[in-house]
Structure 1
Amino acid sequence: MPRLFTAVEIPRDIAMQLSLLRGGLHGARWIDPENFHVTLRFIGDIDDRTADEVADALDRVNRRSFTLQIRGLDAFSSRGPHALIASIEPTASLLELQAEQERLMQRLGLKPEPRRFHPHVTLARLRGTTSSEVADWLAMRGDYRLPAFEVSRFVLYSSRSSVGGGPYLVEEAYPLAA
């Protein structure tokens, strides 16, 4: 039973720049640069027949390539900080691609994604890190930005069912029109 999700890959040069942020934060489990991505739609654990239907449905997506840019660092927090992220500027093209995938998954009978889409790259998972430690780490990095990069495809990833995912395996790649 595969665990699947769709995503935009992060180019190697951008991933290397993001990896330079590693360190200096107690309780951070840093994500390896080769596993950086922008999740579009988490699909979850599904049977092989449904996985084939998902792959076929995604093959019908017909969108143009676009650019994305990392603008800022932040943390996800509910009862305390649990993930350190690099925020992605939410362009119309990215939001439309994600919304189309959401509609396709619901047409296949998958439950709607309960969380609002917030485009980001997870840099680290946090455990036992205080809000003030995260605030200090973020403050030292200021207004973090990286050059825009071209998105010419999205992918269907599989992951092992464990805390933190990775390593991720590209099951299918879906090119975007030039």
Structure 2
Amino acid sequence: MPRLFTAIEIPREVGLGLSLLRGGLSGARWIDPENYHVTLRFVGDVDDATGRDIMLMLGQVRRPSFDLTLDGLDQFGGHKPRAVFASVKATSALMELQAEQERLMQRLGLGAEGRNYKPHVTLARLRDASSRQVADYLATRGPYRSPAFHVPRFVLFSSRDSVGGGPYLVEAAYPLL
């Protein structure tokens, strides 16, 4: 089975707004707007049996739908920037949904996620961009804020083993109440 992860899809109109932030940063590999998402839990490469177990386990999630807002831009990597992203305003509903999925994956025997969860939408992966260039980019575009958008479901995505940034395929969708 391909590489799997759970995520929240970004509505088309929000993705369009994010796409207007593209450009002006050398060494950036910009993510295509149709591949924007908020990762909930990275699963990785699993065999078909584990993939089916994950699909079934995720079907047990019963959480209410909620609204999200993207609030500001930032970067991962510190002095060696590796990605630029739009921050997601962390709501209790989002954090509870992510924590439940983390518990479910561990119950299936998958290792715990090694990093603290920071909800975000990756806009670009960086190669050879200086921290100064990234700081300048963020200074001119950092005040970004999206309109609130409704999250009616989460999905299980698969991706090809590639450099990253898609294309992603929805393997299963799970409605929120």
TM-score range, shorter chain: over 0.9
Partner of 2:148: 148
Say if 1:30 and 1:87 are closer, same or farther in 2 by CA, change over 3 A: same
**Contact 1:2–1:51 (CA<8 Å) still a contact in 2?**
no
Separation in 1, partners of 2:40, 2:27:
27
Partner of 1:108: 108
Partner of 2:70: 70
**1:8 partnered with 2:13:** no
**Contact 1:5–1:156 (CA<8 Å) still a contact in 2?**
yes
Q: Which amino acid aligns with 2:119?
A: P
Partner of 2:60: 60
1:32-47 matches, within 5 Å, as: 32-47=32-47
Partner of 1:166: 166
Q: Unaligned 5+ residue runs, structure 1?
A: none
- With the length of structure 2 as denominator, give the TM-score of the two structures: 0.98
The one-character-per-residue Cα deviations of 1:75-132 (angstroms, maximum 9, x if unpaired) are: 0015500000000000000000000000000000000010110000000000000000
Q: Which amino acid aligns with 2:148?
A: A
Report the alpha carbon displacement of residue 143 of structure 1 after superposing the two structures with TM: 1.5
Alignment length (residue pairs): 177
Q: Unaligned 5+ residue runs, structure 2?
A: none
Say if 1:97 and 1:146 are closer, same or farther in 2 by CA, change over 3 A: same
Partner of 1:120: 120
Q: What do you get for the CA RMSD once the two structures are aligned? A: 0.8
Report the alpha carbon displacement of residue 165 of structure 1 after superposing the two structures with TM: 4.4
Separation in 1, partners of 2:96, 2:173:
18
Separation in 2, partners of 1:78, 1:46:
31
Q: Which amino acid aligns with 2:138?
A: L
Report the alpha carbon displacement of residue 162 of structure 1 after superposing the two structures with TM: 1.2
**Contact 2:36–2:122 (CA<8 Å) still a contact in 1?**
yes
Separation in 1, partners of 2:72, 2:142:
8
Partner of 2:20: 20
List structure 1 segments (4+ residues) > 4 angstroms apart after TM superposition: none
Report the alpha carbon displacement of residue 2 of structure 1 after superposing the two structures with TM: 1.8
- With the length of structure 1 as denominator, give the TM-score of the two structures: 0.98
Partner of 2:139: 139
Separation in 2, partners of 1:99, 1:53:
18
**Contact 2:83–2:123 (CA<8 Å) still a contact in 1?**
yes
**Contact 2:86–2:121 (CA<8 Å) still a contact in 1?**
yes
3-state DSSP class of the match of 2:82? strand
